[in-house]
Amino acid sequence: MRIRTFCNPNLSEVQMLLQRENDDTQNVDSLVATILAEVKQQGDCALREYTKCFDKAEISVLEVSQSEIDAARKETDEEFIAILQEAKENIWKFHAKQKREGFEIRETKGIVLGQKVTPLEKVGIYVPGGTASYPSTVLMNAIPAKIAGVEEIIMVTPPNSDGSIASDILVAAYLAGVDRIFKVGGAQAVAALAYGTETIHKVDKIVGPGNIFVATAKRMVYGLVDIDMIAGPSEILVIADESANPRHIAMDMLSQAEHDKLAAAFLVTTSEAFANKVESFLQEFVEKLPRCEIAKVAIENNSAIIVTDTLENAVSISNLIAPEHLEVCVDEPFALLPIIKHAGSIFLGKYAPEALGDYFAGPNHTLPTSGTARFSSPLSVDDYMKKSSFVYYEKKELEKVYKKIDKFARREGLDAHANSISIRFEEAGEAGAV
């Protein structure tokens, strides 16, 4: 792993560390465009054909039945159901604080200004599946939608080759209040949600993570529907000093490196000796991981340990990277919190590892990646709501200001705008003289 020393880093130096080696040069745009077009034209028939091609599953009925959900609940051990329930409660409690109401301003008699907040009607949630099972993704995406008041939550997830959906995913969907579940994944699932088919309703927004085909499809349908974000590979940055445990830090870095060969893990520390210890544990621990080959590539190609002189400079480096996950493993983490500007989710102290947020603590784990934490935020209840402003003026109040508006509009060369105001105060019979 690369160990770099910076005292006063600049953007170009840090950006050199962010270069990710990607051997996948395939241009997926044309393939995804073809899939989108065929699903738009052929509907369910195209979904079945692509599911057979990509997932090796023949699906006659796309929607998961209630009996399948009931069977999944029986198959899932009670201990794990209890864990899911507790995680749901934590996520619900955190996100319930985010729900906002509309407002009215009535400071002047005869004038009412305000904002109306309305939940989206239909939302589609994409959950990766097949060989993987991510019930945490179900909870994190569905619960904020439920709190927002979304009328219909539709979930799509690719099936196993036998046409089944992992029991853990179905149980999580049941607990989170998902309304309908369909056995379809990939770009074709995004197309179904964006255009609608014979059995899958067109939605207003698509959320949830996926591979490059899913991400590309979401990008291509954006504008027809809304999306949450285009998520890139996972990343973590840890700020630590000698008071931290190097074994813990090494494993925290690997917790993201095991996701993807393009994942990135950074340590920024004030101690070169500590950096060397962490590097040694990384090499030891990575060999023991079931996903060793994936983590090795991520650690060697996309990750780095950075040594700097002060914790303040460590934060400066972190702000330049704007990581998806930021761990602050120092004795006084709250002292650094005010100067942290850019991070998707911040984990403070030595006993708040990133995995705590992935599954259980309550804040959302759908986070901005690839430096987009500079300007975007984690998934929240706001993502499932829209806002409309409203204005009410009585005649006497408009009369007080109409000449000012008339002048403003004409200043911009928009005479019809000006006339739409002034016509309301012309004498009867002069209404056509504009």
Give the domain ranges of the chain. Answer: 2-15+232-375, 43-229, 394-425
Catalytic status, residue 325: yes
User: Buried (b) or exposed (e) across 73-85, using 16+ Cβ within 10 A?
Assistant: eeebeeeebeebe
Of 235, 258, 324, 354, the catalytic one is: 324
Catalytic status, residue 365: no
Sequence length of the chain is 434
Cα–Cα distance, 12 to 19 (Å, whole number): 11
43-229 and 2-15+232-375 share a CATH fold = yes
Give per-10-residue mean pLDDT for the chain (434 aa).
63 66 66 97 98 95 97 97 98 97 96 98 93 90 98 97 95 98 97 98 96 94 96 93 97 94 94 94 95 94 91 94 97 98 97 96 95 95 97 97 97 97 76 45
Of 248, 325, 327, 365, the catalytic one is: 325
Res 403: pLDDT: 96
Res 49: pLDDT: 97
Residue 256 contacts residue 234 (beta carbons within 8 Å): yes
Tell me which fold the domain 2-15+232-375 belongs to. Rossmann fold (3.40.50)
Angle at 19 between CA 18 and CA 20, to 5 degrees: 105
Residue with tokens 């085909």: 213
Query: Looking at domain 43-229, which CATH architecture does it have?
Result: 3-Layer(aba) Sandwich (3.40)
Q: Whole-model pTM?
A: 0.92
Cα–Cα distance, 211 to 190 (Å, whole number): 12
Res 11: pLDDT: 61
Whole-angstrom Cα Rg for the chain: 26
